[in-house]
A = this chain, B = another copy of it.
Amino acid sequence: MVSSSGPDSARRVTIHDVARSAGVSRQTVSRALNGKDEIERSTKQRVLDAARELGYRPSRFARGLVRQDTTTIGLVIPDLRNPFFTEVAASALECARARGWHVVVYDTADRPAEELGTLQVIGSQVDGVVGYFSCAEDELDRYTRGMPLVLIGREHRMARFSSIRIDGQEGVREAVAHLVAKGHTMIGMLDHDNRAEPSLRREWFTAAALGHGIDPGRVAGAEQSADGGGAGLRALLAAHPEITAVFTFNDIVAVGALREARRLGRSVPADLAVIGFDGLQLGALMEPPLSSVALDTHRLGSLAVEQVGRLLTGADPLPPEDLEVRAVLRPAGSS
């Protein structure tokens, strides 16, 4: 039975309380708890009992303060439920774990407005940040105040930052060439919808299409989800009924388009060829399996963690040419 002394204030139980309760000094408590040798069995037991009795738990801050060894990195992603980010996150976790680092994950729920709030909050919780951001660089700068930051899938200008480039130019070219080889000339695209500027992927698509003398203007926006892909495909086909093939911003959207095509009675790939982007494992489960301009998500996550680690420790950062992930076409049943 623990007799609570005084009014039961919710004060934190400190090492001091345990020491007093066990009738020893704080250092002895520390020794007992950390399994040091220089302590008598009986004393140790007494301390351990007292600690348990009082429900004592060492403060991670106090501990971290004195032995400054733990590294924690923040991972910021727009939507953990999107399998692409899941894969990146899983790789990042894996890579961090191998180094004994901790990862705090923040999901901005696809709301760019959340990014800055997250950064602010993250600031005092992690040693470095890795992730996807859509806000302006000077804002990132203001909210990270000197903390290493590695951007994924986005260029950076400020020297303080680092970024992992996604180079899909060649992969998208392959995709379009592949479609052309199959006889397609009316190729549409389902792009991003929530940004003012057209996506890089769209630029790649445009360049590739023009290279084959194909009109790159058959584009519709789609929300980043399977349902969004379905709706997008309907809109695209309504505007451009002549389309026989479609390239999408990513696999999730492609999967939705695939399903929608089926609902519209168009068989894939006979009536409509579909090629996604990302190369998610999910694509292989579809019927037909999804063709995709595939990214090595594992490499993406690892590179980001590796780089933030180097920035953190002051080691030589990886040179820009190594900080790049190339996408390659992985053709499958859908095209």
Contact with B along A90-113 (1 / 0, CB 8 A): 100110010010111111010000
A57 with B147: CB separation less than 8 A: yes
Q: Which chain B residue shows the least CB distance to A63?
A: B124
> Is the contact region of chain A dominated by helix, strand, or loop, or is it mixed?
mixed
Q: Restricting to A31-89, which residues have a CB under 8 Å from any CB of B?
A: 51-52, 55-65, 68, 70, 72, 79-81, 83, 86-87, 89
A270 to chain B, nearest CB (A): 16
Q: Are A124 and B64 in contact (CB under 8 A)?
A: yes
Are B81 and A90 touching (Cβ within 8 A)?
yes
Identify which of B80, B121, B145 contacts A86 (C-beta below 8 A).
B80
Chain A interfacial positions (CB closer than 8 Å to B): 10, 12, 51-52, 55-65, 68, 70, 72, 79-81, 83, 86-87, 89-90, 93-94, 97, 100, 102-107, 109, 121, 124-127, 145-147, 226, 255-256, 259, 262, 281-282, 284-287, 314
16 contacts between A and B (CB under 8 A): A57-B145, A57-B147, A58-B124, A60-B126, A61-B65, A61-B68, A72-B104, A72-B125, A81-B87, A81-B90, A81-B281, A90-B107, A97-B106, A97-B107, A102-B121, A255-B285
